[in-house]
Amino acid sequence: MRERALRAIAECRLIATMTEEPAETADGGIAEIGGTTRRFLTAPMHDVHRHLRSRMEALGMNVEVDAVGNLRGVWQPDASTHKRLLLGSHVDTVPHAGAFDGVLGVVLALEWVVIAQEMHFPFAIEVIAFSEEEGVRFGAPFLGSRAVAGRFDAALLELTDTDGVRMDEAIRAFGLDPAVIDAAVMSADATGFVEIHIEQGPVLDVEGLPLAAVTAIAGQTRLNLTFKGQPNHAGTTPMHLRRDALAAAAEWMVEVEALARRTDGLVATVGRITVDPNATNVVPGRVHVSLDARHAADAIRTAAIEEVVAKANGIAATRKVTLERTNWLDQPSVPMDESLTAMLAEAIEAAGYESKRMPSGAGHDAMVMAAKVPAAMLFLRSREGISHHPAEAVNVEDVEAALLVGKLFLKRFAGSVD
């Protein structure tokens, strides 16, 4: 397992070199590369496909690229029944990304296929390298898994990227036909989907644990608030007569943090703020703030949103400013399949590790796939909790643990399906 773990890490780092970022400057010098940038169906995706296709074919898998650009390899054992286990993750990245987000899940899925072959696994395994999850190029995430889950809206094809290229044009330029995206829907014999992914957070690293079984993918609410006060001269307006929009927003932000700190599992972030007129000698008259709140239990998240909005209204009334609110996302949580999650947790324990279960605060392809097939996720520790950054890293011991857990999980899965 150690040799395979080292091979998986090396393969992720190799794939990380397949990037849109230039290797040379205009004068022929070496460019300073800030990680990996590989958006949906850009040229480096061809390189990724060629590499992964060769790996799949070497394992005796039948390989194809569907109409939305997902690379799919199917291993069909000779005596298999009409059942199929799906494994996979995404191979696109955010700008200036690390080497392991998404890609590690595809590389480890192929290592699980090797293990399955050695143990004479009785069912077919399909490994899917989803072409798009991050939503960077066209502003819409999960394009790859939406197509596989039969949830791809044809209206998405009209979206354009920052260069004015429509999605349907990008698909054709990659050598694919957007008219047959419906054919990408998963096979009817699919019995489960498992995604292996780095945690992208610090929990496992802080707790000193290599792995966790994901219980649910947290629901999200995103909204914008605008506090409107009265801009006025900073030197002549007495404190008790001010209608300071920024002071109101600041008081509210402290309330948001306090609520999240005392509510187990809730995370709430005010990540964007704009101030008008944004001058040193003017009392702020208008402030726009964003709120991102997440929890694995929708009822808790909804109650938290109601409370922070009530706090905002109360603060606005006390400070004699007005408040406007715009909700632009209310995404319910997605529980992972209890049976598959239990198998992963049991496999972690059987491998000699603490059987940690935890929700995911980030969205993943598994949440889309869960609408069509029982889905589960295995988290690997992110070293120092870093992700979406060139410093993203994993421990070889954790990758080795994921391979051992894979072997134990596959044994359990084989015995659970009629």
Residues 139-167: tens digit of each pLDDT: 999 999 999 999 999 999 999 999 999 99
Instruction: Report strand pairing: 124-130 vs 84-90.
Output: parallel
Could you tell me which residues come within 8 angstroms of residue 140 by beta carbon, excluding any fewer than 6 positions away? 156, 159
Cα separation of the two ends of the chain: 30
Residue type at position 52: L
User: What was the pLDDT predicted at 23?
Assistant: 59
Whether residue 171 sits in one domain with residue 26: yes
DSSP string, 173-190: HTT--GGGGGGGSPPTTE
Whether residue 355 sits in one domain with residue 285: no
- Percent of the chain scored above 90 by pLDDT? 92
- Average pLDDT of the segment spanning 396-415: 97
Whether residue 313 sits in one domain with residue 213: no
Burial (Cβ within 10 Å: 0-12, 13-18, ≥19) of residue 155: exposed
- Average pLDDT of the segment spanning 221-245: 97
Note down the domain range covering 101: 2-217+333-416
Q: Point out the domain boundary residue: 280, 311, 328.
A: 328
Give the pTM. 0.88
CB 392 within 8 Å of CB 100: yes
Whether residue 51 sits in one domain with residue 166: yes
Of 118, 316, 116, 332, residue with least CA distance to 220: 332
Whether residue 129 sits in one domain with residue 9: yes
Structure tokens at 34: 């800030």
CB 126 within 8 Å of CB 84: yes
The dihedral sign for the CA sequence 168, 174, 179, 180? negative
CA 313 to CA 323: how far, in whole Å? 7
**What CATH number corresponds to the domain at position 159?**
3.40.630.10
Whether residue 272 sits in one domain with residue 134: no
List beta partners, residue 190: 84
Structure tokens at 126: 């399909």
pLDDT per residue as tens digits for the range 267-326 = 999 999 999 999 999 999 999 999 999 999 999 999 999 999 999 999 999 999 999 999
CA 289 to CA 313: how far, in whole Å? 14
**What CATH number corresponds to the domain at position 260?**
3.30.70.360
Whether residue 389 sits in one domain with residue 318: no
| DSSP E strand boundaries for 248-355 | 267-269, 273-276, 282-283, 286-295, 322-331, 334-335
CA 39 to CA 141: how far, in whole Å? 11
Please write down the long-range contacts of 137-141, taking CB distance under 8 Å and 24 or more positions apart: 137/39, 137/40, 137/41, 137/42, 137/92, 137/161, 137/170, 138/40, 138/167, 141/363
pLDDT per residue as tens digits for the range 37-51 = 999 999 999 999 999
Cα–Cα distances in Å, from 317 out to 191, 263, 275, 288, 323? 55, 26, 20, 17, 9
CB 248 within 8 Å of CB 319: yes
pLDDT over threshold 90, residue 58? yes
CA 232 to CA 240: how far, in whole Å? 13
Give SS3 for 207: helix
In the chain, the number of structural domains is: 2
Q: Point out the domain boundary residue: 310, 328, 346.
A: 328
Whether residue 308 sits in one domain with residue 263: yes
CA 106 to CA 379: how far, in whole Å? 13
Whether residue 237 sits in one domain with residue 175: no
- Average pLDDT of the segment spanning 46-64: 98
pLDDT per residue as tens digits for the range 114-127 = 999 999 999 999 99
Whether residue 408 sits in one domain with residue 357: yes
Structure tokens at 262: 């005392």
User: What was the pLDDT predicted at 29?
Assistant: 52
CA 104 to CA 383: how far, in whole Å? 14
Whether residue 83 sits in one domain with residue 179: yes
Whether residue 353 sits in one domain with residue 311: no
Q: Point out the domain boundary residue: 328, 362, 389.
A: 328
